[in-house]
Amino acid sequence: MPKMLLRILAPLLSAVLATPLIASSAAASAGAPPRIPSEQACRYLADYALVARALAEERNLSTSLADSILNRIYIINHPVITDVEGRIRMIARGDKRTAQEFSLAFLKECVSRDGDVTAFLGVSL
């Protein structure tokens, strides 16, 4: 049943996020730094941050298994989102905050700075 649900939700999520992501890509190619394109995308990535940090807290879970789990759950395929997901995974592994604190910090920065998560990630996208 979960696989069927993922098959149903994946196209829906892709369609919902596609329009703002296309706009973000156009802005990036015009020389503006890429940003998370919408509050909805910020919330999606905050959920990703929560799960990534929770998996990182599991001492007996290898990073490859954690990455595999995240890749099965989160299936948006867009360069900006994929890049941010990878950076979130790396930061989550060394962070000391709880999963909830980590996720909320990401969400707060993403929403309050209109998608600019440079400070959270430590680099510009």
- Please write the tens of the pLDDT for every residue from 76-98: 888 999 999 999 999 999 999 99
How many structural domains compose the chain? 1
Q: Report pTM.
A: 0.73
CA distance 20 to 35: 10
Q: Give me 109's structure tokens.
A: 């920065």
Taking CA atoms, 112 is separated from 11, 29, 54, 56, 117, in Å, by: 28, 24, 24, 26, 10
- 102-119 as b/e: b if 16+ CB within 10 A: bbebbbebbeeeebbbee
Domain residue limits at 26: 2-121
Which amino acid does the sequence have at 18? A
Mind listing the pLDDT tens digit for each residue in 45-81?
999 999 999 999 999 999 999 999 999 999 888 899 9
